[in-house]
Structure 1
Amino acid sequence: MSLESYQNELIEQSMAVDALKFGTFTLKSGRISPYFINAGLLNTGPILATVSAAYAATIVAALKDSTAAFPEFDVLFGPAYKGIPFAACTALQLHTTHKKPVGFAFDRKEAKDHGEGGNMVGTPVEGKRVVILDDVMTSGKAVRGAIDIVTRAGGEVVGVVQLLDREEFGQDGKSSTVKELERDLGAGRVRSILKLRDLMAWLETKGMQEELQKMRAYRDQYGVNKDDA
């Protein structure tokens, strides 16, 4: 399989800043993973430009996809703290590159008790259609928390776009976390810039056979079937 140019650029630049690593890592779930991504290290102008361009391209492609119902929306929501620059920069990319004007919003970890108050910042989401930007979804706990924040503020979450889909089975031990989430949001409403299969395809093109074999073993143990991902 061939990757889009923005996918290749994101992988290579993420590795250059150590945000994406291949090795041995213990996840919060207790699983031993042969790769790890730390979105907090995507923190320079050049890499943010690449990340936001990839988010924007993924969103535009989803909106044009006639086979799935990814809807039009009004606001990008970036969960604090990592999601804040992603939402702001992606809103800018959508406007400057794709001529699609949308607002962006984010939450505070602690509600502000003075000034405008509350725990939401940016474009008001009340009565608006909202797309959440996520980094890496494993169990889906974080993104469900973001959905709750937006819903309590009066917004309607109509989609989620994540940086990386690990393509692992979720809380029920059978289907993927993405499919679990789409049961609530609707089919085709959770999109990803990169998936596990994309990382594996990239490793293969680079001849990184040792890393690729470890990824295959991990997928065989924890991965969902390709048709169910």
Structure 2
Amino acid sequence: MNIDSRLEELIIKLYEVEGVKFGDFKLKSGIQSPAYFDLRVIVSYPQLMREVSQVLWEVAKNAQKFVSICGVPYTALPIASVMSVDNNVPMLIRRREAKDYGTKKMIEGKYEKGDVCLVVEDVVTSGSSVYETVELLNEYGLQVKDAVVLLEREQGGTERLKKDGVNLHSVITMTQLVRVLKKHGKIDEKMFDSVLKFVAENRFDKPTKGSGDIPANKAKAAMTFKERANLCSNSVSKKLLEIMEQKQSNLAISVDLTNCKDILQMVEQVGSKVCIVKTHADIIDDFNEEFVEKIRELAQKHNFLIFEDRKFADIGKTVLHQYKGGVHKIADWADITNAHTVPGAGVVKGLKKAAGNRQRACLLIAEMSSSGNLAKGDYTKATVEIAKENSDFVIGFICQHKLIDDPVFIHMTPGVKLGEGTDSLGQLYITPNDAISVNKTDVIIVGRGITEALDPVSEAELYRKAGYDAYLERLV
């Protein structure tokens, strides 16, 4: 679980004001639950309501651009009101029932047809309340692409809304909430287990006989990116998996161009299609601080991580200086870097020390895609062991096959093209389906297949769809 101290404090406050209770409660659906959420109470705690509104606004930054917000009645209405006032964004009000006088409108406020509206909710279980609001907004000509929620109960709401075209962004999940409360002694181990068991056994997206949904007995074997994100202790791996889920993209582009202008232009074109932009800073002829600033701005704009493919391969003391110093100062701007394990675990320790308090992560090169490479056998096995011993900093592997079942490790495959083959310098190519569905890796890394295409945007979309479709196939 990766959750910062601010959210831990928020969870404790919600517990202390009885916004969340534990025991034996009958829900609206008629089933008995060990946990009950009544967040309406926060209206009596103005500072707490402001804190809730602030964290919801922060996750709203992951949503597509919107011009207004609408709270699901009734609990989310005051929360949305605070978000509206604090951030100077117009708010719309959805009525539960129409007035029998005046305009008789169900949506109140100023809007234009085609406007994109963000839906705000307090708790999501099945997602039905959010979707009722979405349907009504659609009837009035508004578009809804995203919703934000304080607490996602992990009972199928996110998945149901995605099928309906709405991406749900949550501040806290049920798993995170009970882990924090157990950590601080608010609930015991028995209640912790009871809540998680209830969630697992009462999902609203369980398939009925003859349905095309993912079978329940397959869900644990092939976890979704979001489910894996909830298990991550490294903030970078968590963010990456969340981006992959949100953007429906497991595509990384390797922008191996040699001047800043060309790189930035390519990233601007395809940034919306990818989860990672991979660079080689040492081949850039005019590398400068302005380039670093601009590529970071593009990462924020298009919601991707930056992976500097430095391939560190020296003793710990040397890589410490290579990573944080020199001309490139990689630790200052790249979310992810990578390393060979030829020097042993010292290379990881040196990088980790150089990263300091920055939110950074490392991939270990366990297998390569070039003909005749030596990264195989015992070398690969030893690399996996180094990763396991340093899992707070090492988030996965550059590889050709899935190497470990632990879901917090991310497997990335280079040398991917829509058609198999080789180049004149020994690069072996495999297809997205072979990498993701057959070899069970997570991210495809594509370079020249996109950067040398006549239409890089269209080609990036083909790769994005091929990679993500292969991932979805793996879930079934």
Q: Structures share a fold, TM > 0.5?
A: yes
> How far off is 1:29 after superposition?
2.5
Identity of aligned residues (%): 25
State the partner residue of 1:163.
Answer: 150
Question: Which is richer in strand?
Answer: 1
In 2, Cα distance between equivalents of 1:74 and 1:102:
7
**What is aligned with 2:176?**
198
Q: How does 1:1-229 map to 2 (within 5 A)?
A: 1-44=1-44, 45-60=46-61, 62=62, 70-93=63-86, 95=87, 101-115=88-102, 117-124=104-111, 126-168=113-155, 176-185=156-165, 189-207=167-185, 208-222=188-202, 225=220, 227=224, 229=227
| Distance across 2 between alignment mates of 1:123 and 1:131 | 14
* TM-score, normalisation: structure 2: 0.40
Larger relative contact order (Cα-Cα within 8 Å, sequence gap ≥ 6)? 1
Using the alignment, how far apart are the partners of 2:157 and 2:22 within structure 1? Answer: 22
- Indicate conservation of the 8 Å contact 1:203/1:209, yes or no: no
Cα distance in structure 2, aligned partners of 1:219 and 1:107: 30
| Offset of residue 35 of structure 1 | 1.0
Residues 206 and 30 from structure 1, CA distance in 2 versus in 1: closer, same or farther, beyond 3 angstroms?
Answer: same
Match of 1:67 in 2: none
Residue of structure 2 equivalent to 1:172: none
Q: Partners of 1:25 and 1:125 in 2: how far apart? A: 43
SS of the residue corresponding to residue 96 of structure 2 reads strand
**Residues 177 and 80 of structure 1, relative CA distance in 2, 3 Å threshold:** closer
Work out the CA distance in 1 between the residues paired with 2:114 and 2:30: 39
Unmatched runs of 5 consecutive residues or more in structure 1: 63-69, 96-100, 169-175
Summarize deviations over 1:50-75 as a string: whole Å, max 9, x none. 21012112212x2xxxxxxx311111
Larger Rg: 2
How has the CA–CA distance of structure 1 residues 221 and 159 changed in structure 2, closer, same or farther, with 3 Å as cutoff? Answer: same
Distance 2:89 2:117 in 1: 10
Go from structure 1 to structure 2 and tell me whether the alpha carbon gap of 1:32 and 1:38 turns closer, same or farther (over 3 Å shift). Answer: same
Question: 128-137 or 206-215, which moves further after superposition?
Answer: 206-215
1:137-173 deviation line (CA, Å, top 9, x unaligned): 22222112101111111100111111211111xxxxx
Write the deviation string for residues 71-116 of structure 1: whole angstroms up to 9, x where unpaired. Answer: 11111111222221111111233x2xxxxx4211112233235555
User: What letter is aligned with 2:74?
Assistant: Y
Counterpart Cα distance in 2 of 1:220 and 1:177: 13
Following the alignment from structure 1 to structure 2, what is the Cα–Cα distance between the partners of residues 213 and 32?
A: 15
Runs of 4+ off more than 6 Å: none
The answer (yes or no) to whether the contact 1:6–1:53 under 8 Å persists in 2 is: no
Unaligned runs of 5+ in 2: 204-218, 228-476
Query: 1:125–1:24: structure 2 CA closer, same or farther, 3 Å change rule?
Result: farther
Q: Amino acid of the residue matched to residue 52 of structure 1?
A: S
- Which letter does structure 2 place at the counterpart of 1:130? C
3-state SS of paired residue (2:82): helix
Please give the alpha-carbon distance, in whole angstroms, between the structure 2 residues aligned to 1:109 and 1:184.
Answer: 21
Q: Is the 8 A contact 2:67 2:117 kept in 1?
A: yes
TM-score, normalization by structure 1: 0.80
Pair 32,56 (structure 1): closer, same or farther in 2 beyond 3 Å:
same
